[in-house]
Structure formats: C-alpha cells, structure tokens
C-alpha cells in the first residue's frame, strides 16, 4: 500500500473528495429524472383515459359553486359536446401562442348554451398581424344554433396581475371570468374545439393539435447521469493508475 501513499497528499485528497461528492449528486439527478419519467407515464395514462372516453354533453359534467359554474377538477382532456349560440361581441384573441414555431394568437369565442351557461371556446390558432398592437382579421362566426365538439382544458388560477396595456380585444390568458364576468360563465375550464356544425372555423384559423402523449427525454437523461456516475469512478481509477505508474518510474530511476 505504500505505493499508493500519494493518495494522502493534499492534491489527491481533494481530487478524491470531489469525485466522491459527485457520485451521490449524479445519482440524485438520475433518480430525479426517473421520478419525472414515472410521473409523466402516470400523467400520460390519465390523459389517454380521458381521450378514449366517449364524448358526453358538457351539461353532464356541470356543477355549481357560490359564484359560478364549474366542471370537476379531473375533467382535463375529456371530450364534450355543446350546443348553443356564439357571443361574437365577447370574442378575444390570446396573445403569444405559437404553432409549429409560428407566432400567433388563439381565437376564443364564448358559446351560450341552451341552459344559459357560457363556455369559452378556443376555436383555434391564427397567425399574428404585422404589428404586436394590431389584431388579425378573423371571419365572423355563423349565427343561430351551433353544435361544438371539443376537449376540456383546465384554467390555472392567475398568480400575478395581468397586463393592463394590451390592445383592445386581446388578452394574455384564457381566464373566463375576466372575459365575461357572470354567474353563468364556466369559470374553471374552457373547451378546445375540434369540430363544429355548421363549421365555425375559417381558412385563417387552424385546429389545435391533440395533446402529445410522450415520455419526453427523461429516460435518456436518467441514463446519462448514471453514465456520468460510472465515468467518474472510471476516471478516478485511471488517474490513480497513471499516477501509480509515474511514481513507480520515479522510484526506479
């Protein structure tokens, strides 16, 4: 063991301690990515389960609280059917929404159902105008009764004040009660339209894609951190071996 006494020098103590400290750090990062992978897999199963369910009238899901109408918390991605009339005067455009790397806006039009409930309908994406202060021209929605098919999307609570300098008719997020503050407004969700009858999309409005049910890169990242952990051990071993050989050469001179 005297040949390895160089490991007790300050330089090698520091190198060894750094390597030892890196091992649990890499392992923790790997475990974190595995945890995110498992969480994503669970989330994907939940999404797919909702997507696979047969469409139901949104009235079957509606409930009431003290201030507005709501749907159950776990309704995200559920396909629903709605029948009502458009409220074009309350239509808004949601800023800074990209589609296939193109900047644009969501077109959100309230739909008043037969029972009086007002649901925000995201009719799709449209390209931005030439200027951030201008709104693109969107064709008018058809009048009369409309049948809509779409996916329920949750509305996260706003955690900080919204901007106050937006052009008229534009908003930064879909917050139903900010668009139409009424006890009849569905407050905790909106619907992402996939089809309508009669057709309520024009050529400048594109349907939003289905949710992407993938695992992401978490598995490869987890394996990457494990690889770094292994390479740290191998690297330290190689450094020690090379130093041992060098010390042996010096001793033979």
pTM of the model: 0.75
Whole-number Å distance between alpha carbons of 33 and 16: 26
Residue-level pLDDT at 213: 75
| Other CB atoms within 10 Å distance of the CB of residue 253 | 4
For 78-113, how does the pLDDT look when each residue is reduced to its tens digit (9 = 90+)? 999 999 999 999 999 999 999 988 889 999 999 999
How much of the chain is helix, strand and coil, in % rounded to 5? 40, 25, 35
Whole-number Å distance between alpha carbons of 136 and 83: 27
Assigned CATH class of 53-197: mainly beta
| Other CB atoms within 10 Å distance of the CB of residue 9 | 11
> Per this entry, what is the length of the chain?
253
- Preceding omega of 198 cis (within 30 degrees of 0): yes
For 180-232, how does the pLDDT look when each residue is reduced to its tens digit (9 = 90+)? 999 999 999 999 999 999 988 777 899 898 887 777 788 999 999 999 999 99
């Amino acid at each position: 063991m005297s040949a390895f006494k160089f490991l007790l020098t300050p330089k090698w103590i520091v190198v060894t301690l750094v390597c030892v400290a890196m091992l649990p750090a890499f392992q923790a990062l790997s475990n974190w990515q595995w945890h995110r992978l498992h969480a994503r897999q669970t989330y994907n199963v939940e999404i797919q389960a909702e997507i696979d369910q047969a469409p139901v009238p949104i009235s079957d899901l509606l409930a009431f609280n003290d201030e507005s109408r709501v749907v159950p918390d776990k309704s995200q991605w559920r396909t629903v059917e709605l029948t009502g009339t458009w409220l074009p005067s309350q239509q808004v455009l949601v800023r800074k929404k990209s589609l296939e790397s193109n900047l644009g806006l969501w077109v959100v039009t309230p739909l008043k159902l037969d029972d009086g409930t007002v649901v925000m309908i995201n009719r799709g994406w449209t390209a931005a105008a030439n200027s951030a202060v201008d709104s693109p021209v969107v064709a008018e929605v058809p009048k009369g009764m409309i049948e809509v098919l779409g996916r329920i999307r949750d509305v996260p609570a706003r955690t900080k004040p919204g901007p106050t300098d937006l052009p008229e008719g534009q908003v930064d997020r879909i917050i139903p009660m900010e668009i139409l503050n009424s006890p009849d407004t569905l407050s905790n969700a909106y619907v992402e339209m996939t089809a309508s009858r009669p057709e309520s999309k024009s050529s400048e409005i594109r349907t939003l894609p289905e949710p992407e049910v993938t695992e992401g890169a978490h598995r490869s990242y987890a394996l990457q951190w494990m690889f770094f952990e292994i390479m740290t051990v191998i690297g330290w071993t190689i450094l020690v071996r090379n130093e041992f050989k060098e010390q042996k050469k010096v001793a033979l001179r």
